[in-house]
Structure 1
Amino acid sequence: MKHKLIAGLDIGSTAVRLVLGQLIATENGEKLQVVGAVSGPANGVSKGVITSIEDATSSISACLEKAERLLGVSVSEVYIGINGPNLKCERSKGVVGVSRSDSEINNEDVVRVNQAAEALTVPQHYSILHVVPLMYKVDNQEFIKNPIGMTGIRLEAEVLIVQSLSSQIKNLTRSIERAGLAINDLVFSPLAAATVVVDSTQKELGVAVVNLGSSTTSVAVFEEGEVLHTAVLPIGSAHITNDIAIGLRCSLVLAEKIKVRYGSAKAENFNKKDEIDISDLLAEENLNEDNSAISRHYVAEIIQARVEEILEKVDAELKKIQRSGMLPAGVVLIGGGAKLGDLVEIAKKCLRLPVSLGGNRQVPTVNDKVNDLEYLTALGLVAWGEQQQRMVGPGTFLPGNIGGWLKKIVGWIKP
């Protein structure tokens, strides 16, 4: 394939997903087009954290081999999504003097002030993943988004710093490199997904992207075009499956199939006499049980209880930043767990906000598979990569902390 490939790799607790895009030359310049997507089971990963480098490497390699076989492409470098309950975010401020004699602020001043803001005391065993500028202040003028070209003597910056355990970053990068891949960038997964599921208007008004994964639920809140808050909760759709297995006294495999095929997050939609015939599911599992009918209302009660717990934790994150029930653009749900029946309806009630399922709003594709809720994070990584390459230029990835903080700063400041 002659065109420049951009690959996004999303390593979840249950699946590894790879989306491939390419930059195609058009009359109006290069244009990103997604050409394919593959997935495979994930081993050696729990709650977004590598628990076995050998197993994780094997899972990644199997996904790459599948891509080469089905799509006919060879992947050598990727953008990686990183997740996990150990990620944390903090706000920090920095101040510098403007360097030029004519007091005009340039790129170097912006980089220096962000470096000054980055120089907070990072907890032991943590590394900085993202430095996201929130706002700037030039002398006494506040709430400036892009100070480049302005005149002033004193430049201040307030940034959001996303941090991750150093060991988590090292284990993830080691697994990727052992699979024969070079890492272009490590990106906090919800930030990557947001590049394709929400637009600039939603980010300006105030919106939260909630990724319901298998073992974790991640949250990214945007307002006035910038990231306001991020969080990863150690609870996900697998907990719903576990609850069903306990409640029905069945295997996890059967519980997952019941959840996917008949699951609903709203018990009041069914009466106690409504039943589900699971004889076909029992046959698939080679199980022979006398009672193949279960109460749909009971299953929905089990699901609703856990869903409400997850949504309460999401709302608790919004309360931390005084945005509970206060995001005009509402909440966008993505991830495999968001496919659950009646989830949007119950989320509107619990969060007191507009709620919708996420979709690909930004990237043209010839493959409908990548528009699936499960693939939106990997697709977002491709879009993130395309933005970074336009900012810095392909093949000129900058050094620094994992992923290169300078690229991230450049990417968040839009002239």
Structure 2
Amino acid sequence: MHPKNLFALDLGTTKFCLAALLWQGDKPKLEVIDIPADGMHRGMVADISRAERCLGELIDKAEKQLNVNIDKVVVGVAGSHLRGYMASHSLPLNRQNCSLRHVQRMIEEVETKEENPFREILHCVPVGYKIDHREEIDNPLGFTGSQLTGRFFVIDSDKDYLKDMIRICNANGLEVTRLYSEPFASASVSVDDEAKQLGIAIADIGGGTTDGIIFQNGKPVNAFTINIAGSMMTKDIAVGLNLSFAEAEQVKHHFGLTYLKHQRDSSTPLDPMAKRVFVILGSRIHELGAHLANELKDYRGLLGGGILLTGGGAQVQEIDQFMADRFKVKVTTRTPHLTAVQPLEENVNSRHATALGLLNLELGRYYTQRQNQGSLPRRYIDHFVNWIRELS
């Protein structure tokens, strides 16, 4: 059994993107459609009327191209207003076996405990549990004790900003069924479980911001936003080489940091333009790397998987090698892949990692709910969806 057609929106700084998972019988088909963004700045809405109009153009284009009606979407949330932090909570077991309901009740109580009139929790992810004073474990079910203690990674967002995002969608006839943080979404399709266990930082280099999330022992432990990304790189090239923004974008993708190849092997043919682009682009990417290193300073020696770059900015040629050389850390790039359904190779591109991740998270949520149907408290299932409807 699979869900109905799913649609995910990534309202980015440089592009508005809609990812669609359509079902033809039992076979899923992935489609991704995007248009240049308007009304956005550094991953956040800066002009509501322009953003509304731009989203309307995207939905019209998608409905015509896919020949479907789009009325429900999951939406990604990005920007410096996102906050990631650790929270803990304890629950009495009274020497009973720990059950699924104990765990679910604990998550509910953590979310209640962390409630803030100006913030809304997007994710509350279990990091580890303890029964009494024993060692921390991943799964407490079936253990007997007096007290259950849990650690959770929480990502929350500015509540009023979420209202604005939902209003923009509602103005275009869209019901927002779920909101997810974009760093969490990108990570879900960019990094495998083994790398998460080793410890890894994922940096999604978008148009206006670089959004990241850090994993240790398979669990998220921190999130961050850096206000340096692809648009700044393109603007640097445009100014430095006296080009239009569109021309600079083409130059960025054609040359990237390929001058590195000549530095490694002097017999490699040298294009003078490649060196000029390298000097300009390298300065900005070095600055991004310095900010990234600052975000990761508390995890020095703890990230065996290194740094994984995704998003459109990760497509700059040789960016992984450039950062690895300068910051002496393992840096890789990877094409996103859906894990909640059979791998789909069509239309998969790093610049669409966030939109694909939103689909992936919603699919995972759907299958988890079906698996736990009948055991999940109804209030827990509907809490967030009802909150969104109240705002509409």
Matched, 1:307 2:285: yes
Q: Is the 8 A contact 1:332 1:356 kept in 2?
A: yes
TM-score with structure 1 length normalisation?
Answer: 0.82
| Residues 160-217 of structure 1: per-residue CA shift (max 9 Å, x gap) | 1212112221111111122211222111112112222222112112122110011100
Whole-angstrom CA distance in 2 between matches of 1:404 and 1:225 = 30
Give 1:3 deviation, angstroms: 6.8
From 80, 84, 87, the counterpart of 2:79: 84
User: What is the one-letter code of the residue matched to 1:298?
Assistant: R
Q: Is the 8 A contact 1:330 1:354 kept in 2?
A: yes
What's 1:224 paired with?
A: 217
What's 1:8 paired with?
A: 8
Whole-angstrom CA distance in 2 between matches of 1:150 and 1:401 = 30
| Residues 219-262 of structure 1: per-residue CA shift (max 9 Å, x gap) | 11112121111111111111112222232234333322322222
Q: Is the 8 A contact 1:212 1:334 kept in 2?
A: yes
Q: Is the 8 A contact 1:186 1:403 kept in 2?
A: no
Give 1:116 deviation, angstroms: 3.7
Whole-angstrom CA distance in 1 between matches of 2:244 and 2:46 = 24
User: What is the one-letter code of the residue matched to 1:352?
Assistant: K
Q: Is the 8 A contact 1:129 1:187 kept in 2?
A: yes
Q: Is the 8 A contact 2:259 2:274 kept in 1?
A: no
What's 1:255 paired with?
A: 248
What's 1:338 paired with?
A: 314
Whole-angstrom CA distance in 1 between matches of 2:33 and 2:136 = 43
Give 1:366 deviation, angstroms: 5.9
Query: Structure 1 pair 39/120, CA: closer, same or farther in 2 (3 Å)?
Result: same
Give 1:335 deviation, angstroms: 0.8
TM-score with structure 2 length normalisation?
Answer: 0.86
Whole-angstrom CA distance in 2 between matches of 1:221 and 1:350 = 21
User: What is the one-letter code of the residue matched to 2:296?
Assistant: L
What's 2:129 paired with?
A: 136
Give 1:274 deviation, angstroms: 5.3
| Residues 53-77 of structure 1: per-residue CA shift (max 9 Å, x gap) | 2222222222222222122222221
SS in 1 for 2:207: coil
Q: How many residues are treated as equivalent by the alignment? A: 375
What's 2:105 paired with?
A: 112
RMSD over aligned Cα, in angstroms?
2.9
Give 1:334 deviation, angstroms: 0.9
Whole-angstrom CA distance in 1 between matches of 2:261 and 2:195 = 32
Q: Is the 8 A contact 2:80 2:225 kept in 1?
A: yes
Whole-angstrom CA distance in 1 between matches of 2:214 and 2:97 = 33
Identical counterparts, % of pairs: 26
SS in 1 for 2:144: coil
SS in 2 for 1:86: coil
What's 2:235 paired with?
A: 242
Whole-angstrom CA distance in 2 between matches of 1:309 and 1:87 = 22
Q: Is the 8 A contact 1:14 1:214 kept in 2?
A: yes
Q: Is the 8 A contact 2:30 2:346 kept in 1?
A: no
Which residues of 2 match residues 369-408 of structure 1 at below 5 A? 369=347, 371-393=348-370, 398-401=381-384
Q: Is the 8 A contact 1:95 1:116 kept in 2?
A: no
Which residues of 2 match residues 8-407 of structure 1 at below 5 A? 8-22=8-22, 33-98=28-93, 103-119=96-112, 125-264=118-257, 269=262, 295-319=273-297, 322-361=298-337, 362=339, 363-364=341-342, 368-369=346-347, 371-393=348-370, 398-401=381-384
Query: Structure 1 pair 248/360, CA: closer, same or farther in 2 (3 Å)?
Result: closer
- Structure 1 residues without counterparts, runs of 5 or longer: 277-294, 406-415
Give 1:6 deviation, angstroms: 1.5
Query: Structure 1 pair 402/247, CA: closer, same or farther in 2 (3 Å)?
Result: farther
